[in-house]
Amino acid sequence: MAQRISELRQGGATLTGIADRLHEEGVPTAREGARWYPATVRAVLNRQPA
């Protein structure tokens, strides 16, 4: 999932746009949350190796 989020971001998607897309697709968060938020997307991106 982290790779996909990274690719969406590199493609120009906003954090909100990514969160909305994942939510619409029914993708659960790592902690089985039902809703993605821009802060959650940012946290995933920040965990990515440089």
33-47 tens-digit pLDDT: 879 999 999 999 999
Which string of b and e fits 19-30 if b means at least 16 CB within 10 Å? Answer: bbbbbeeeeebe
Contact 20, 38 (CB under 8 A): no
- pLDDT score of 10 more than 90: yes
CA distance 34 to 4: 18
What is the value of pTM for the model shown? 0.87
Q: What is the mean pLDDT of residues 19-42?
A: 92
pLDDT bin (cut points 50, 70, 90) of residue 49 is confident
Indicate if the pLDDT at residue 50 is higher than 90.
Answer: no
Quick one: pLDDT at residue 39?
A: 96
